[in-house]
Amino acid sequence: MNRWLILFAKEPKKNQVKTRLRPYLPTGSAEGIYMAFFRDVVEIARQVQCENRLIAYESVNESPEFIQKTAPDFKIIKQTGKDLGERMYQIFWWILHHKAHHVIIIGTDIPTLPPKNLQMAFKQLSHHDIVLGPSFDGGYYLIGLKKPHREIFINIDWSSNRVLNQTVCKINKMHLKAAFIPRWYDVDDQDGLNRLMKDLKGKQDKSIARWTRKYLGI
């Protein structure tokens, strides 16, 4: 089995990450909370049974120094493409044409995601063409494929509450067999931040999202 877990990430530069969260943060540093999220998601990824872990990074005229230092055990590749859909498709195409069997992409704004969700996604890919992890905001926090289907990434209203529905419509039209793992929340606005803080305060296991806890003082 040749399974790849891919983390889509940005090199954390000022005014380029989590800008919508800045007014609601205790220190006002969006870069700080992004780095905490990234560290936590890297730790989640390390707990998942798979053969390859890769970070597809986005950076404007900068080398991914923070990413390389934080995750030296991950392979690293730069994202290419005009929008999120094209960037994801390019990564899927590149890896699946190098004899990979199952490929899953996640983002960096899910610091409390249970590793079992990712393990479940790989298992579902054994019996389905595509797996999705729906998010509460109408998008998805995870997508997995066995073949690079370009159509499911075209003409999607990215960063809207229509992403999941539009994607599912395309999957149905293509007669692909889809699986869905449990819904989870991502953190990119005030509602997501409030949910995160409430969630962390209610958890007895303090090892969950430990870097995010440290940043938020929880």
CATH number of the domain bearing residue 129? 3.90.550.10
Percent of the chain with pLDDT over 70: 99
Stretch 142-170: mean pLDDT: 96
pTM above 0.85, yes or no: yes
Helix locations, the chain, DSSP H: 30-46, 65-70, 84-96, 115-125, 163-173, 190-202, 210-216
Q: What are phi and psi of 144, to 5 degrees?
A: -130, 145
- Report the percent of the chain where pLDDT is more than 90: 85
Please give the residue range of the domain that contains residue 129. 3-216
pLDDT of residue 40: 98
What would the two tokens of residue 218 be?
Answer: 């929880």
What is the C-alpha separation between 30 and 89, in angstroms, rounded?
28
- Rounded to an integer, the average pLDDT of 85-106 is 94
Q: What is the mean pLDDT of the chain?
A: 94
Tell me the Cα Rg of the chain: 17
pLDDT at 60: 74
pLDDT band at 138 (very low <50, low <70, confident <90, very high): very high
**How many separate domains does the chain show?**
1
